[in-house]
Amino acid sequence: MATLAQNAGMSNPLLGLDWVDHFSKLPDAYFSRVAPEPLSAPRMVHFNAPLAAQLGLPASSAGDADLLAMLSGNATRPDTTPIATVYAGHQFGTFVPQLGDGRAMLLGQVRNAGGELFEVQLKGAGHTPYSRFADGRAVLRSSIREYLCSEAMHALGIPTTRALSLSASPDPVRREEIEGAAIVCRIAPSFVRFGHFEFFYYQQRNEMLAPLADHLIRDHFPQFADFPNKYAAWLTEVVERTARLTAQWQNVGFCHGVMNTDNMSALGLTIDYGPFGFLDGFASGHICNHSDEAGRYAYEQQPRIGYWNSSKLLQATLPLLHEQPEQAVEIAQGILGRYPAAYADAVLGGWCAKLGFQEVREGDRDLVNLFLNILDRGSNDFTRCFRGLAQVSTTSDAAPAIRDEITDVAAFDAWLSSYRARLQAESTDDAARAVRMNRVNPKYVLRNHLLQAAIEQSEHGIDTEVDRLFQLLSRPFDEQPEFESYAAQPPEWARAISVSCSS
């Protein structure tokens, strides 16, 4: 297999995009120039046509051989070298002074016709200076997980990186066993993480903090560019975005699995899909990552970790806030103090919307917690139970169908009486409320057993289930009766599925 990619053919539709490459124009201290390692005999497992259109790629791009060559590491842009960025991070609470893009390479940054900026990154394209003795590869199993979940999260309305393509190869990659290689082309406004700032702060290279922050502000927070306290304004926005993002994860039952600071986006995006999981049976202490033996990143811990991670970002950017350390700390503490209220407002607003309330009222928090406790005690299905509440009637005592799935029926019946009274207090039409609730309570989420079926097929060269899940999850709130079985309770064997930091 070749070890150096060739220049892309001039017919490659990617070359017709408006490449601006702002990040690669920063000083070399932020990155290393790298060459992708080609995949042999690559095939396009899936191509994200809607995202391609948003970027400005023509509809015919999916079958373009030159496009596949670049997306599988077999070609690069002429006169442009991909880069891998350097960062640090707190991993499971322990600071690691140098990490970086160990298996990711930034091809560049494009601007679409609407002026939106997107970075284009290959994940799994081979070794970089930050691979730390690893091979820089990704396997098909984990790549399918990231490709589908990032798009599922986008359809749920949760800020996230996205994926343009997924290509695979028979090239062997050793993990727990030998698996096939794959590359995901990831798309995001920016892949800058909290850990980028930590790297320079803990190296006492404070002069490198401002150029990186200025880059982000210019491209993604231009409203703050002329503020005399622009860094404080930017960091306040990042902290509040992080709080709101974590609230959205909680509301939809999403567990990230590895909330290290190097996996936290400086734009408030969901980034780095490894051992994630959507809750099946609700368990507040659910740990989706079997590598997380202490449960640091359990579902119920995510809001606290978002706060802790935000404190580490503020620690790393203290030199930007004030030249006097004491005053910088005071400003940072004020910014961090915005997190709890931002999270509390967002998460309660999300829960109330899921229950069909048109406004938040006194006592709603208790009503939410009572329902979650009922689900928790019985490990009842999170997604199905919230979706089923749309069938509750305020004009009769008829039980909704979901009652048959609740373990603690007596507690549910008592709660249901209070819930009906709360709905009646708003004089809401049941049909209109059901429509509203079904817009925020998905019928379909990317459950692990659905992923497993797609992975097993694709590992045998059959990619139809990947496409089926992609289409299904692009409309998670719609009934889609032809896919009704995908909304069923998971089979018993799904309990044995285990994901880890290698997933």
Binding residues: 100, 102-103, 123, 135-136, 186, 193, 263, 272
Give the torsion sign (CA, 89, 158, 355, 374).
negative
Instruction: Reduce the DSSP state of residue 348 to 3 states and report it.
Output: helix
Task: Evaluate whether 26 touches 41 at the Cβ level (below 8 Å).
Answer: no
Amino acid at 240: E
Instruction: Reduce the DSSP state of residue 235 to 3 states and report it.
Output: helix
What CA–CA distance (Å, rounded) separates 291 from 300? 17
Which burial class, exposed, middle or buried, applies to 308 when counting CB atoms under 10 A from its CB (0-12, 13-18, 19+)?
A: middle
Amino acid at 288: C
What CA–CA distance (Å, rounded) separates 316 from 104? 24
Among candidate residues 189, 191, 146, 190, the one with its CA nearest the CA of residue 165: 146
Which amino acids are annotated as binding site for ATP, given as ranges? Answer: 100, 102-103, 123, 135-136, 186, 193, 272
What CA–CA distance (Å, rounded) separates 232 from 234? 5
Structure tokens that stand for 274 in this block: 């490894």
Q: Which of 66, 101, 219, 262 is catalytic?
A: 262
Torsion angle defined by CA atoms of residues 367, 370, 371 and 377, in that order, rounded to the nearest 10 degrees: 180
Task: Evaluate whether 258 touches 297 at the Cβ level (below 8 Å).
Answer: yes
Among candidate residues 55, 24, 494, the one with its CA nearest the CA of residue 288: 494
Among candidate residues 252, 255, 478, 284, the one with its CA nearest the CA of residue 380: 284
Task: Evaluate whether 494 touches 448 at the Cβ level (below 8 Å).
Answer: yes
262 is catalytic: yes
Instruction: Reduce the DSSP state of residue 104 to 3 states and report it.
Output: strand
Structure tokens that stand for 295 in this block: 């449960």
Rg over alpha carbons for the chain, rounded to the nearest Å, is: 23
**Residues paired with residue 281 on neighbouring β-strands, in sequence order:** 381
Among candidate residues 442, 445, 440, 437, the one with its CA nearest the CA of residue 419: 437
Which amino acids are annotated as binding site for Mg(2+), given as ranges? Answer: 263, 272
Structure tokens that stand for 299 in this block: 């579902």
Q: DSSP secondary structure string, 24-61?
A: GGS-GGGEEE--PPPPSS-EEEEE-HHHHHHHT--GGG
Q: Which residues are catalytic?
A: 262
